[in-house]
Amino acid sequence: MTHAIDISCAIGGKKLPSLIMNASGPLCTMEDHLRALCQSSSGAVVTKSMTIEPRDGNPHPKYADLEYGSVNSNGLENLGVGRYMEVISKLKKEFPDCVFIASVAGLKEEDYYNMAAEIGTVADLIEVNLSCPNIPGKPQIAYDMEASDRILKTINTKTQAPIGVKLPAYCDPVFLKEAADMLMKHELAYLSLINSIGHTVHVDPLTDETVIHPNNGRGGLGGAYIKPIALGQVHAFYQLLGNRIPILGVGGVYTGRDVYDYVLAGATGVQVGTAYMQEGPAIFTRIAQELRNVLAEKGARSAQEKLGMLKIRGVNT
């Protein structure tokens, strides 16, 4: 019976009932969004990446659905760390079994430290977003290994909450190895791989305009377009890190089979972004059942039995 198959996972000392959760970004900005996630089958509740002060983000239109995914240039629209502390505290009383992951995105290094010290008093885990591609004039910190190393080292001294890290794609193997070596120096709850692929352009065939406005029409690409890239990143980091840091796969998760592919590649869990934006909170129940069906077909009693079991064509396994 597929309902008996275990799809739980453990992240940062927390046992999650499902390895499938929302990704920071879509439908997790407002209190109502987070409450809906608490009421859903999401394994955890991940907030929008927050900043010290509230932000309106970039001007509209800044999101568009595409044939195989989405593009956005949100610009870190959020309520600010103070408000998220209030909301998480309130929701933890209403939903004591929910695990809250607070995503933080500093506009300068000191912001990360200050937010971690504050939000870590109420959130169960902190996701350090070093990879937002949609802030005009701001680089993705994760490409600067020295700065990333410094931020992670300092954050761990500022908060008692376990920390995870959200990273971009490193499409050069040298960068992958440098990143893995740097990350292994720190006590991390997980890696979230990957953020959207920045600075992509999509054209409306009726108007010959870009489909979004900010950043000269360029935005972060998500959905099925980036699944092969994300799978490659998960597999590469899993080979470099082994089981030393759990990985959450992000990018193109629409079905239970997508989740299974990520588990094979080395992901302990997954985060759902574009598909959650398009389908809403009911998606977590659907995908979970589909995953159980796939695992049953494969003769597995749990998702974690298949962790890192991806076969390489032409290699005896």
Active site residues: 132
| Listed residue (167, 155, 145) closest to 24, CA to CA | 167
Asked whether 300 and 257 are in contact (CB, 8 A), the reply is no
Strands 45-46 and 100-104: parallel
Q: Which residues contact 2 (CB under 8 A, 6 or more apart)?
A: 289, 292, 293, 295, 296
